[in-house]
Structure 1
Amino acid sequence: MIYDLELVIAYDYPSEVKDARHILRVRPSVELGQDTLSTQLAIRPRPDETLREQDFFGNALDHVLLFPPHEALSVTMKARVRVTRELPDLDATPTVAEVVEAAFVARDATGQGPMHYLGDSRIVRLSEPLTEYARAAIDPEEPVGTAMLRFAEQIRKDFTYKPGATTVDTPVLEAFAAREGVCQDFAHIMIGSLRGIGVPAAYVSGFLRTIPPEGKPRLAGADAMHAWVNVWLGHELGWRGFDPTNAMTVLNDHVVVAVGRDYSDVAPIDGVLITAGPQKTRHSVDVVPVEEKGVQPGRAAASA
């Protein structure tokens, strides 16, 4: 599947901002099963300095420096991406216990090594409630692939997707206790639960293609930035994606932008600036299959 993507993130500031410094994580990733064919990035106002690099986890970073005073910032990313993921035989994967043992003795110190995804991170902390939740749902002798899909399905069953119920700063245990939230909360809950039983789990930020009801046209801007979980299934299979918000494995409807230990490693925009009063932000996403025709004009606000 080949997609044309467009992401727009905009900020309006209550007073002029000077000397703003930002780190952007908005370019789609290049990895197994996903190739970026082209990317364009437009920033307004025009940056005085830019620098591109990769972080420890392999994510594409754009460092941006803005000197002139400005009252608004907009970032537009356009890309064409090819996604060709294959679903492994989940029943033929190692057992959960075997993956836990392999992760415990693994010595890969790169950003993809399982050792970095077993303990506490900035947002996700090991806790007894999350660990017990995983222990109650996961059989150590079950194939890890089928166990992870069942666990994603369990989260989707136990928790209510409710936009506005949480914010980006809501603690994981608070969302867990409330049994409601959005995709970021579902991903953090799955990650914390799996790490508690020794299964390496990573946070993934990206785009999800939404498919309109049968007979209805696709509306531009109807897609949203999304979050899901990569789980390490052992040395042979490596990292595979599971989406607890939608109770599914990650295949060709998902486009990866960034991977980290939790949301703090993959936030689309980080930075430092000085202003007064609350800022306003908005964003929209389009994920359009290249062969798709008849896309309706317009843009809808996106949230996840």
Structure 2
Amino acid sequence: MTIPESAHYRIAHRTHYRYASMVAICQNQLRMMPRSFTRRLSGLECHQVETWIDPEPTVLHEHTDYYGNRVLSFAIESLHQELTVMVNSEVTVHQTGDVLNQESPAWESIVKRIKATEDRRWLIAQEYQFDSPRITLGPTYEEYARQSFTPGRPLVEAGIELTKRIHDDFKYDVTATDVNTTTDRAFELRAGVCQDFAHVQIACLRSIGIPARYISGYLRTVPPPGEPRLVGADESHAWISMYAGDALGWLDMDPTNACPANTNHIPICLGRDYSEVTPMRGVVLGGGATKLSVSVDVAPI
């Protein structure tokens, strides 16, 4: 399948909570709203975003967080037993170059330039070299990464091989982990979902000094030939972005699918790991047991 240089989408993300008993107060933050950006080889145009919340919030406020993500905070201060949040957006994803064809310097030279503050983005890149709430660096990840990052190897070539190795060595298994599984546990199991694959690759890259960050978003799924698209069958997705030096900037890789990100990938938020880009999180007073259902529909236009 030929991947287009631009792709236009409508996205509908529905989250529904049903509580066993009444909730008196809830406070939540949403990170589901895309933002426009341009990078060396990719970009995204956000044409419009609409958010619908039921019951109607008592307090509603939007701000931009430290990483530039759009955040909608709201509070409902009336009794309710259900909560529904709908975020509808329309975006265009652009890709101006093929990552596979990019020439890049040896990976060690990029690490050295950041350390010596010679790279013009060194300060921002440096933030993504260290431990974060869900990722702890260590010799185990370094050893795994160095099987691909051999001395003098171009960064892009090594990064793509690491992406494919994680895909081949780890089993995609939705029953093996959950949202709270640690990166160390996922690495030990050699199994998990896109969140785990992304955390593992970030841990490997950071452990050898390469800045890497976590990207949350959506993935356009293509049905088998002759079969219709299933509305609501798409899901939230996660992949990684590694820093390739001031000439190339940030390059996105998808270890779950063993490929560089392309116009089938729709980035929404970025952070150091999943804890900083959770699509929806908050606290409730009351409610008891909770039943959660989520549906995402990514429709190409």
Output the TM-score relative to the length of structure 2. Answer: 0.92
- Is the counterpart of residue 62 in structure 1 residue 72 in structure 2? yes
Given that residues 203 and 262 in structure 1 are in contact (C-alpha distance below 8 angstroms), is that contact kept between their aligned partners in structure 2?
yes
Tell me how far apart the structure 2 counterparts of residues 111 and 104 of structure 1 sit (CA, whole Å): 8
Mapped partners of 2:123, 2:72: distance in 1: 21
- Write the deviation string for residues 101-155 of structure 1: whole angstroms up to 9, x where unpaired: 1232348999981111111100101122112111223224121112111110000
Q: CA RMSD in A?
A: 1.9
For structure 1, the residue ranges without an aligned partner over 5 or more in a row are 291-304
For residues 79 and 126 of structure 1, the distance between their equivalents in structure 2, rounded to whole angstroms, comes to 36
Structure 2 Cα separation of the partners of residues 75 and 276 of structure 1: 17
Aligned-partner SS, 1:29: coil
Q: Secondary structure at the match of 2:37?
A: coil
Return the letter of the residue paired with 2:267: V
1:147 aligns with 2:196: no
The count of aligned residue pairs is: 290
Q: Corresponding residue for 2:3?
A: none
Q: Look up the SS of the partner of 2:145 in the other structure.
A: helix
Q: Report matched runs for 1:81-160 at 5 Å.
A: 81-86=91-96, 87-88=98-99, 90-106=101-117, 113-160=124-171
**Is the 1:109–1:115 Cα contact (8 Å) retained in structure 2?**
no
Q: Percent identity?
A: 36
1:91 and 1:257 map into 2 onto residues whose CA distance is: 24
- Cα distance in 1 for residues equivalent to 2:151 and 2:277: 30
Residue 18 of structure 1 corresponds to 24
Do the aligned partners of 2:107 and 2:153 also contact (CA within 8 Å) in 1? Answer: yes
What CA distance in whole angstroms lies between the structure 2 residues aligned with 1:243 and 1:263?
Answer: 15
- 2:202 partner letter: I
Structure 2, unpaired ranges of 5+: 1-6
Larger proportion of strand:
2
Deviates more, 1:2-11 or 1:124-133: 124-133
Deviation at 1:15, TM superposition (A): 1.8
Using the size of structure 1 for normalisation, the TM-score is: 0.91
Cα separation, partners in 2 of 1:44 and 1:110, compared to 1, 3 Å? farther
In the aligned structure 2, how far is the partner of 1:186 from the partner of 1:139?
21
Which of 51, 61, 64 does residue 51 from structure 1 map onto? 61
1:18 deviation in Å?
1.9
2:188 maps to 1:170 = no
